Amino acid sequence: MLTPKQHELLIFIEKHLRETGCSPSFEEMKEALDLRSKSGIHRLISALEERGFLRRHKHRARALEVIKLPPDLNPGQDTARNFSPNVIKGNFGARLVGLRAEAPEASAISLPLYGKIAAGLPIEALRDNEETIEVPMSMLGSGEHFALTVEGDSMVEAGILDGDTVIIRRGEMADNGQIIVALLDENEVTLKRLRRKGQSIALEPANIHHETRIFPAERVKVQGRLVALLRQY
């Protein structure tokens, strides 16, 4: 799931590589996306790397490689004519409560909406909430999923904004660098990027104004990892 700016930058890099044989400079990317500083480009490239769309070759100047494109675009398409954000928009007021997953004609499914999750400071998870939310089945893979509403701004540089709804695949395993739901001390939950080192776990924000928090491994349990994002406009 890419933000509009991540999507736009990826397509610009792919087109530049295809037409010139080399990756664009940071100045060219800044101008193409109409950003005020190159630091924004650094953050976008890092996010694309983490999502597996882009590879940056170290110790080589202007060495970017596009690994894959979003599924709605093929190489050679013009980004100005065909760009559309991968953030899902819409009014999710209509519920599909009790929708059977085995119905082959279904295009959406209802997931439990557990409540608010802090992207800034941890808050108590509202697991007894019976509310549900309609989610396109194309956004989901195998496994069990649930939804949480984001509250806070510490993940904005990963494209996760206050008020967004995150779709989480339930599970206790996650790789370093993945965005997870972490349960702290059995009663608080937060959305952060996972970093493991030895017997410690760091919960890393995506906002330079927030600090990384480090805990003993036994205090943190992975509840699931981010697989999709819903946003209402």
Alpha-carbon distances of 57 from 15, 50, 64, 121, 136, rounded to whole Å: 18, 14, 6, 35, 36
> For residue 31, what is the domain's CATH number?
1.10.10.10
Give me the domain span that covers residue 32: 4-71
Task: Specify whether 154 is catalytic.
Answer: yes
pLDDT of 126? 52
Task: Specify whether 37 is catalytic.
Answer: no
Catalytic residue, candidates 46, 154, 197, 200 = 154
Q: Is residue 103 part of a domain?
A: no
| C-alpha to C-alpha distance for 52 and 62, rounded to whole angstroms | 18
Would the pTM of this model clear 0.75, i.e. be above it?
A: no
Residue at token pair 């989610």 = 135
Catalytic residue, candidates 15, 30, 116, 192 = 192
Same domain, 62 and 140: no
Number of domains in the chain: 2
Residue 31: pLDDT over 50 = yes
Q: What is the pLDDT of residues 196-205, one digit of tens each?
A: 988 999 999 9
